Amino acid sequence: MNLLQKSLPFTALIIFTLLSACQKHENNQKIEASEIAASEANAIGASSPQVLTQDCRQVDSTIQQLEKTIVAEDLNDLNQLFKDCLASATLEKRYQWQAKSADIYQKLITDASPQIFQYMTDQLSDGQTMTAKQKQALYKQLKPSEKYLVDHAKALYLEKFYVGEGEYTFVQHPQYDLDIFAPYLEKSDQLYFKQLGKEYTGANYIMDAGLAISFDDVANRLLFWEKFNKDYPRNHFKPQVLENIEQYRNALFQGEDNTRTLWFDEDKIADDQAMKAIDKIAKSKTASSQTAQNFVSLIHESETLWQQMPKPSTESNDEDSPEQLSIREQRTAFEQKIRKSVEAILAQKNN
C-alpha cells in the first residue's frame, strides 16, 4: 500500500501523457486508473490523512500516561480519541496506535488486583463461584477507580473468559479492534480481525488437555489462515498469521492428550473425525495440502498392517508370557516407526 501511494502521482502523469498521445487506449486506461483508486480505498482515508486537531494531538501523550499507570477512565477517554482521530491519522500511525492499545489492555489485565479478578470472573479466591450477595459485598470494597472499571467493563470491551479446568480470567473482546481500528485499516487487516472475531467463543479452543472444538473446525481455521497468507503475503499481521497456522497444524495433525489424532487402538491408528478433517486439507489448494496427502497415505497403508499384526491377549494371566511380551514389543516398535514417519512429514512444511 505504501509503495502504491508513493507511485500514484507518477502513474497519473503517465496515464495523462498516454491519453494525449493515443486516444485509442482511453478505455483501458480508465479501467487501470479505477483499479488503482479502488486499491487505495482499502484503508479509509489512508492515502490522504488530514492535519491532526488539537484533541488528536493528545492521543500519544495519553498513551504514554497509560503505559505508566492504567486508569480505566483514561482508557475509556483514549478509546473515544481513537474513534475521533483515526480518520485523520496516517496508516502507519494507525498501526502504532493499535499495537499500543493492545499492550495497554494487556497491562490492565496483568496488573489488575485480585478483587478485580474476582469481580470480573465471578470467582472467589478458592475457585468457588461467587453468589450475588458476595459480589455485592465485594463491590463495596473496591476503590473508586476499580468500580469505574467494572461498571464500564462492557464499554471497555472487557469480558469474562474461560481457560479450562474451572478457571476463568478476563480479556479484551476482539470486537474492540473490529469496531475501533478495522474500518481504518487495509482490507486484509479487516478480514484478519473479522476472522479473529469469528473464532472467538469466550473460551480457549484447547482446554483440559483436549480440543474444545471439532477437528473439522480446526481444519476450517487452518484453511482460512493458509489461504489468507497466500492472498496477502505482505499482510501487516503476518507474524500472528503464521503463528495461527502453526498452532492449527499441530492441533489437527497431532491433537492433544485427550483428543489425539493418533490413537493406536486395537484396530485403528487414527481418529476417524481427525482423518476426515485432514482429508479435507489434502483436497484443498493450500500450503498444507501436500502434507495432508502424505499423512493420509501413510495412515491408510499403516492401518492395514496394524490390523494384521497379532493382538495382545485380554487375559490377565497371559500378560507376562514370552509370546505376549513379543507381541507388545512388535506393536510398540511399529507405533514408534509410524510416529517418526509422521514427524518427518510434518517437518516438510510448504509455507
pLDDT at residue 51, rounded to an integer: 58
List beta partners, residue 162: 168, 203
pLDDT at residue 52, rounded to an integer: 64
pLDDT at residue 211, rounded to an integer: 98
Query: How long is the chain?
Result: 351
pTM of the model: 0.82
Q: What is the DSSP string of 39-101?
A: HHTTSTTTTSPPPPPTTGGGHHHHHHHHHHS--HHHHHHHHHHHHHHGGGS-HHHHHHHHHHH
Q: Are 114 and 125 in contact (CB under 8 A)?
A: yes
d(CA 280, CA 229): 18
Question: CA nearest 338: which of 287, 255, 249, 270?
Answer: 270
CA distances, 187 to each of 18, 43, 129, 193 (Å): 31, 7, 42, 10
d(CA 235, CA 242): 11
Provide the residue ranges of all domains of the chain, joining segments of one domain with +: 55-204, 208-350
Q: Are 339 and 262 in contact (CB under 8 A)?
A: yes
Question: CA nearest 196: which of 231, 243, 234?
Answer: 243
C-alpha grid cell for residue 23? 486516444
pLDDT at residue 32, rounded to an integer: 40
Strands (E), the chain: 158-164, 167-172, 206-207, 210-211, 255-256, 259-260
pLDDT at residue 12, rounded to an integer: 39
Q: What is the pLDDT along the chain (351 residues), one digit of tens a residue?
A: 443 344 434 343 333 343 344 444 444 444 443 433 444 445 665 545 555 676 899 999 999 999 999 999 999 999 999 999 999 999 999 999 999 999 999 999 999 999 999 999 999 988 899 999 999 999 999 999 999 999 999 999 999 999 999 999 999 999 999 999 999 999 999 999 999 999 999 999 999 999 999 999 999 999 999 999 999 999 999 999 999 999 999 999 999 999 999 999 988 999 999 999 999 999 999 999 999 999 999 999 999 999 999 988 877 667 778 888 999 999 999 999 999 999 999 998 664
Dihedrals φ, ψ of 56, to 5°? Answer: -70, -25
